[in-house]
Amino acid sequence: MMLWYKAWRESRSRFLLAAVVVTVYSIGALLNARTSFPPPQAPHLPYSAFVWGDFYAPFKAVAFGLIALVFGLGGLQRERASHTATFTLALPVTRGQLVGVRFLTGLLELTTIAFIPAVVVPALSPVVVKQTYPWSQGVEYAALFMSWGVVWFATGFAWSTLCAGEFTAAAASLLSPWAYLIVYAGILNGERRFPEANPFATMSGGLDRGLGGRMLLTEPLPWPVMLVLAVVTTALFFGAWRATVRQNF
């Protein structure tokens, strides 16, 4: 319990900030929909399409990816910079336990952030907008956001383990998605050959592959793709764990 509490104390500020921002945005978007839905330029727009545009479009997936990267930052390297690593390493636990608890705490916090719209939108839409939105859709979109979100989280986690400087780790983490997209779209010609490897399209439900005007998920979730992403996440965590065990502080 001590390790869990320590991990929570270290990450609670950014978690609570992210939770408040996402909650306020979600409620604000619904309040705005009271007067702006349906939009005058598209009077027949389905409410589900309106929700998709406000919560699950690719740009929103980018924002969630940035949150995930930031959640991954921290750890012993940052503690070394603030001269508290010696105290942490003196605790009666292994480095592996320190890394594992911090990783799991971050994943739980990130999952909570992903599910805030999945709860707020279906719960408040009938009251605020006089519209309904399926609970199952919110849960499935949250799962899609987490599919790549865990990869970005593990990327930030790995960089924060390898880089001694906090700003260096943050810069490397924020540049990683764009470097990946350059390789994916340019070198591998990925958008035509491997559409499932497009992170933000996948997180948004694969709009470019024809969801239809209602923007509702009608096909099963891409479980094989999500399994591959889970394996990538595990590999990044294992690399960070190994690096931490071997580092000198």
Query: What mean pLDDT comes out for the span 160-173?
Result: 80
What local confidence, expressed as pLDDT, does residue 192 receive? 61
Asked if pLDDT for residue 198 goes beyond 90, the answer is no
Structural domain boundaries enclosing 86: 2-246
CA atoms within a 13 Å half-sphere pointing along the CA-CB vector of 68: 24
Q: Return the DSSP state at 41.
A: T
Asked if pLDDT for residue 145 goes beyond 80, the answer is yes
Query: What mean pLDDT comes out for the span 58-73?
Result: 92
Asked if pLDDT for residue 54 goes beyond 50, the answer is yes
Q: Do 107 and 95 contact (CB within 8 A), yes or no?
A: no
Q: CA geometry: angle at 213 spanning 210 and 219, to 5°?
A: 45
Instruction: Please give the Cα distance from 73 to 59 (Å, whole number).
Output: 22
Provide the H-helix boundaries in the chain: 2-36, 47-51, 58-72, 76-81, 85-89, 95-128, 135-162, 166-182, 190-193, 199-203, 223-246
The average confidence (pLDDT) of the chain is 84
Instruction: Please give the Cα distance from 135 to 215 (Å, whole number).
Output: 14
Q: CA geometry: angle at 149 spanning 116 and 77, to 5°?
A: 110
Global pTM reads 0.89
The residue that leads in pLDDT, 238 or 168, is 238
Residue 133 in 3-state DSSP?
coil
Query: For the chain, what is the domain count?
Result: 1
> Residue 54 CA to chain centroid, in angstroms?
17
Residue 186 makes CB contacts below 8 A (sequence gap 6+) with: none
| Whole-Å CA distances, 13 to 17, 20, 109 | 6, 11, 11
Instruction: Please give the Cα distance from 229 to 60 (Å, whole number).
Output: 20
